Amino acid sequence: MINDIYDVIVVGAGHAGSEAAAAAANLGSKTLLITMNMQTIGQMSCNPAMGGIAKGQIVREIDAMGGYSGIVSDKSAIQFKMLNLSKGPAMWSPRTQNDRMLFAEEWRVALEQTPNLDFFQDMVKSLIIENDTVVGVVTSLGLQIKAKSVVLTNGTFLNGLIHVGDKQLGGGRMGEPRAFGITEQLVSLGFEAGRMKTGTPPRVDGRTLDYSKMEEQKGDENPQRFSFLDTPKMTKQMSCHIVYTNETVHDILREGFDRSPMFNGTIQSTGPRYCPSIEDKINRFAERERHQLFVEPEGWRTVEMYINGFSSSLPEEVQLTAMRHIPGFENAKVFRPGYAIEYDYFPPTQLQHTLETKLIHNLYFAGQINGTTGYEEAAGQGLMAGINAHNKVHGKEAFTLNRDEAYIGVLIDDLITKGTEEPYRMFTSRAEYRLLLRQDNADIRLTEKSYQLGLASGERLEKVHQKINESEKLEAFLKNTSLKPGLINPILAEIDSSPVDQAFKTATILTRPNMTLEKLEQIDIIKDFTVDFAPEVKEQAEINIKYKGYIEKERENVAKLHKLETIKIPDDFNYSDLKSLSTEARQKMTKIRPKTIAQAGRISGVSPSDVNILLIYLK
């Protein structure tokens, strides 16, 4: 039926698979996207939202490189918020609430319009391996489809097991079958596999809720966008609501603990530390009298509501009884109960930085199969796997991002170097150079790199150059324009800042705490010059001026790191010969095979003295 030999086959059409397929195909590879259900391409399996702390930076990085997640998010957004604005710009993180059905629809439209991309609905049950190289896949229909590379993005479907109370159902998502065969084959080939757990909350009928008992959460007055392209601006938004659990809710939930698969030993695998179930929260934090919940709409044309913070695998009747004691939920009707799901993953230390496996050539893993959690983390990996699968089969150099270049680089380096035994989630705290990795400059950091690859368009690159030129022009104006005390002091008084008795450069005044360019635009000479600059240009110039010293310090630290990154460790280096290394360091480095001294130093269990021993030996 399918006699073509593909450059890249992508297995799974979630966030990782969709980005992988789009990247490979847009680069020119003949690509096949295989999914178990064509109706669930780009499905938001859990919360109807994109971005958030550190995750929003990843979405902007994907967009800057020519991926689709930002565009799809913008087109399906029902609310936009820039989080952490009360903190420094390194912490600012964009987030959209999305129409779940429209999000999936926009993903499918985008993929169907992508050249070089074919689709097929079936389940892949095994890989075709020849001479330690993947050369195709075998489907449940018995088809053998040949390929030069394969990207596995199986999500939670590998031997997925769903738990609702004492009920267990095989599936990758509720109502959808699980995938089997791949794990067993890979283990037989020498791969190490493990189990992880995640969960999802109940969905309720929004018509049965009393929002007057909740706190309304509106979107930003001037909503921004994820994409650096001119995606449609939001003209209307939907509100979310905040509500809290109480002791009565907790008592009802505790009564169901004996039937909870989390507490009766049924679930043995590790769940996400930073997104625990409601029963886990009240068990671990027994002293807390209440827990915050977010009531999030699922879309423009549905009454379904997502109860963020109430993930549960307790029996459905316990979930409903407890929920009806939450203010505003007294008459709540449940559309779908919450559930937990266990699934297979492969410890990511078995991968190279390109996301190609070390054991099998031309085989790539991306997404939850690598132990991560979150749409954004999956999409970032998918993009990189798609790029590298294309590059490998076309004889091009591998493409990787360093920790100082992108959150995607931090994510992959953490996975490859440190591994993970629990679902990995990105945070700003994981990035040493987060002031360099801001959401506002993702295009400046990455678009040129992607353009050189052939992925980012000329239109994107032109926009970046224009943004850089205009921000430099604005910075020069602010640095060279002096303001007299009579103009400055009234504005300084507004922010309780000490007055001046002589003229100062505008840039100097801008560095004062709580001073902003927007406040200085009250002065005509400033406003007249800045009026035609786009908001993102003003933001870029302001950050560069206000945080110049901190940015330069981080760049100095990056330069020091790069010296260690240039000291390569041979692939066949025999660590067992270095008896002066600690036993743990020898074992860890033999397993992970770090490429550089810098990477070796990031491995858990490798001490500074171990690094110095390596340095001396390699010199």
What are the tens digits of pLDDT across the range 392-427? Answer: 999 999 999 999 999 999 999 999 999 999 999 999
Annotated binding site: 12-17, 271-285
Task: Give the type of residue at 203.
Answer: R
What sign does the CA torsion over 386, 387, 389, 394 have? positive
The angle formed by the CA atoms of residues 327, 332 and 338, to the nearest 5 degrees, is 100
Residues (pLDDT < 50) of the chain are none
Total Cβ atoms within 10 A of residue 4? 11
Question: Domain 566-618, what architecture?
Answer: Orthogonal Bundle (1.10)
pLDDT value of position 262? 87
Question: 458-552 sits in which CATH class?
Answer: mainly alpha
Query: What is the per-residue DSSP string for 512-566?
Result: STT--HHHHTTSHHHHHHHTTS-HHHHHHHHHHHHTHHHHHHHHHHHHHHHHHHT
pLDDT value of position 446? 99
Element spanning 194, H or E = strand 194-200
The residue extents of the domains of the chain are 204-337, 458-552, 566-618
| Among 274, 273, 294, CA closest to 49 | 294
Element spanning 134, H or E = strand 133-139
Q: How far apart are CA 149 and CA 396, in angstroms?
A: 14
Annotated binding site for NAD(+): 271-285
| Among 466, 545, 551, 456, CA closest to 227 | 456
Annotated binding site for FAD: 12-17
**What number of residues does the chain have?**
619
| Among 316, 357, 35, 368, CA closest to 201 | 316
Residue 495, classed as helix, strand or coil, is coil
| Among 563, 560, 515, 567, CA closest to 542 | 515
pLDDT value of position 157? 97
Element spanning 25, H or E = helix 15-27
pLDDT value of position 1? 64
What sign does the CA torsion over 451, 454, 455, 458 have? positive
Q: How far apart are CA 600 and CA 294, in angstroms?
A: 41
Q: Are 242 and 215 in contact (CB under 8 A)?
A: yes
pLDDT value of position 618? 85
Domain 204-337 is found in CATH 1.10.10.10: no
